[in-house]
């Protein structure tokens, strides 16, 4: 195993990085733990925040360079890469600006002389995926560095240059060695790190399988874990929803980032047979217009999938769905060109015994359902072991909010496919994991909320 840059648009192996030895990995842990205990946690919040703010400034100055790594390593459409870079800079600034407020001590109402103080807990181990190579890192690093924790990061094996570039931000911003450390390590080494007492918290964004393994190991070691494990995010198109707007949002929500997002719209559930036929026809027309191609070209809407493995996995899911009786109404094939490209795909007639009914399709593959009643739509939306994002479309916003309360998900978006902001908490329920990142909730996941009581 090694960390490799393989260009998804061509399939070319560009660069390879060897795994670090156990000695190198644990030397990094030694450095991080020593920095935490002797220096970092004692620095004023404002001082730590200045380093994080400086990292944001450097990132904005180097936007073009950082976007190039995104396109090279995971095939991100270049114009969308700028959105990610800008969002990451905003996240860094957000915690730099609000850290002191979020970490301020707070009196306990009704308890004179009692207060809660917020203290860091130590080394946090982050295991992060490839689909948003900087955003996934920033959700952890920005909050935890300001909080006074130090961070060890194992990034995905397919984005090593993104991982190194993000680590350079903090080095150039003046963070001491050990505050933020990138590791090129393997699964066995991660297990040893989780077992080490000096690692006080673990956070992972990834698959159910990875989350279960890391969560189990963290639990055996009695340490806090935050897990974000993907979703099968439904979009409910209620009877009053304007179809033209819903179609536009579904196309964007399913194909953004080439469909490779934890909260991308995965399933569309339309209430009403006639409206279902109308929306399916409109979606077929819109999917036919989507340009799949070179992620560097300005008019490309869907670039390559991240890897040959990802492409083969989706093709297998499509074939298994077809074999189980589903109907492929658009796409479903590999694009005949170098690289890892898939036609944007719409699948319907998916029955409960179809494997796709229960799975997440992590790419530009849309599952389409039509039901007769709103009750059926809600029941179908919740008929999944996942519970990350969901979407409700209706002209009556008050009614849409009522429906939102019945959806088993960590996040519900009304009449919109996305609302990315540093101040909005991110996380799910059921097998989508637990804990939250971003907003004030994110900085609080790895804190000791210490009670101090003075006799009155």
308 part of the active site: no
Residue (of 388, 190, 441, 204) closest to 215 by Cα position: 204
Q: Of 185, 262, 374, 417, which residue is the catalytic one? A: 262
Return the DSSP state at 130: S
Planar angle of CA 426, 429, 431, nearest 5 degrees:
115
Q: How far apart are the C-alpha atoms of 285 and 13, rounded to whole Å?
A: 36
For 407-451, give the DSSP string: S-SSEEEES-S----TTS-B--SGGGEE--BSHHHHHTTTEEEEE
Q: Of 228, 343, 374, 437, which residue is the catalytic one? A: 228
Q: How far apart are the C-alpha atoms of 196 and 97, rounded to whole Å?
A: 33
228 part of the active site: yes
Buried b (16+ CB within 10 A) or exposed e, 295-317: beeeebbbbbbbbeebbeebbeb
Question: Which parts of 128-248 are beta strand (E)?
Answer: 150-154, 180-183, 199-205, 224-228, 234-237
Q: Which residues, 6 or more positions from 223, have their beta carbon under 8 angstroms from its beta carbon?
A: 194, 199, 200, 201, 202
Task: Give catalytic residues, as residue numbers.
Answer: 228, 262
């Amino acid at each position: 195993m090694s960390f490799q840059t393989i260009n998804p648009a061509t399939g070319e192996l560009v660069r390879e990085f060897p795994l670090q030895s156990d000695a190198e990995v644990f030397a990094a842990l030694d450095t991080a733990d020593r920095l935490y205990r002797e220096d970092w946690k004692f620095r004023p919040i404002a001082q730590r925040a200045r380093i994080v703010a400086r990292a944001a400034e450097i990132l904005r100055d180097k936007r073009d360079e950082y976007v190039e790594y995104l396109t090279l390593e995971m095939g991100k459409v270049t114009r969308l890469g700028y959105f990610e870079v800008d969002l990451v800079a905003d996240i860094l600034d957000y915690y730099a600006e609000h850290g002191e407020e979020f970490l301020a001590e707070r009196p306990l109402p009704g308890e004179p002389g009692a207060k809660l103080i917020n203290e860091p807990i130590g080394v946090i181990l982050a295991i992060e995926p490839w689909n948003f190579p900087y955003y996934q890192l920033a959700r952890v690093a920005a909050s935890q560095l300001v909080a006074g924790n130090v961070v060890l990061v194992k990034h995905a094996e397919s984005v090593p240059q993104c991982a190194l570039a993000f680590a350079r931000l903090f080095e150039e911003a003046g963070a001491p060695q050990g505050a933020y450390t990138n590791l090129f390590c393997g699964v066995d080494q991660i297990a040893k790190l989780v077992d080490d007492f000096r690692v006080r918290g673990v956070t992972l964004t990834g698959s159910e399988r990875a989350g279960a393994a890391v969560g189990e190991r963290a639990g055996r070691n009695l340490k806090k874990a935050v897990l974000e494990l993907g979703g099968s995010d439904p979009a409910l198109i209620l009877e009053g929803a304007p179809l033209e707007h819903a179609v536009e949002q579904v196309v964007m929500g399913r194909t953004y980032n080439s469909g490779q997002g934890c909260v991308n719209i995965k399933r569309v559930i339309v209430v009403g047979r006639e409206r279902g036929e109308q929306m399916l026809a409109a979606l077929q027309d819109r999917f036919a217009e989507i340009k799949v191609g070179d992620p560097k070209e300005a008019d490309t809407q869907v670039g390559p999938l991240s890897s040959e493995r990802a492409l083969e996995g989706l093709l297998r899911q499509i074939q298994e769905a077809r074999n189980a009786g589903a109907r492929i109404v658009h796409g479903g094939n590999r694009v005949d060109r170098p690289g890892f490209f898939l036609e944007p795909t719409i699948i319907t007639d998916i029955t409960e015994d179809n494997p796709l009914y229960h799975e997440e399709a992590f790419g530009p593959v849309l599952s389409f359902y039509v039901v007769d009643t709103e009750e059926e739509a809600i029941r179908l939306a919740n008929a999944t072991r996942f519970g990350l994002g969901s979407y409700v479309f209706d002209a009556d916003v008050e009614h849409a909010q009522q429906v939102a309360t019945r959806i088993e998900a960590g996040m519900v978006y009304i009449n919109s496919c996305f609302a990315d902001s540093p101040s909005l908490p991110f996380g799910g329920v059921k097998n989508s994991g637990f804990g939250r990142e971003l907003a004030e909730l994110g900085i609080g996941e790895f804190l000791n909320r210490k009670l101090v009581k003075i006799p009155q």
